Copies of this chain bind each other. A is one copy, B any other.
């Protein structure tokens, strides 16, 4: 008779999404408004947990919340195609690669800067000299 009611705390632990983040996702409409029990607390079912885990995995892959919204829409649509999902994934992959190349450029420059300087107590710093014109 007494069903276990999954609270925000348990679904947070199970999905790996922080409580405040779950409430935030609800507020921005990324997940639906949850049902409440008679004292006003949110109650969750396994599908909710799955959705949150999905979101967490997508976030770990760097997808934006907007991308995730699209993925969730596609996932819930009957006439979606594989191609749409793949396109979204590849567009995101391209943006990851672009950020990667930015970071690689930074890394190379910083490495060169660092190597130009021997450290120690000298007040004349080649790093500053290179950054100031």
A interface list, Cβ under 8 A from B: 50, 53-54, 57-58, 60-62, 71, 74-75, 78-83, 85-87, 89-90, 92-93, 96-97, 99-100, 103-104, 106-107, 109-111, 113-114, 117-128, 131-133
Contact = CB atoms under 8 A, between A and B. Distances in A.
Contacts of A85: 117, 125, 127-128
A103 B53 contact: no
A89 B110 contact: yes
A75 B111 CA distance: 20
Given A54-B131, A107-B96, A122 B82 contact: yes
A128 B75 contact: yes
B61 A120 contact: no
Contact of A127 (B79, B89, B133): B89
B82 A125 contact: yes
A70 to B, nearest CB: 12
A75 to B, nearest CB: 5
B106 A62 contact: yes
A32 B24 CA distance: 38
Contacts of A93: 107, 110-111, 114
A117 B103 contact: no
Contacts of A120: 81-83
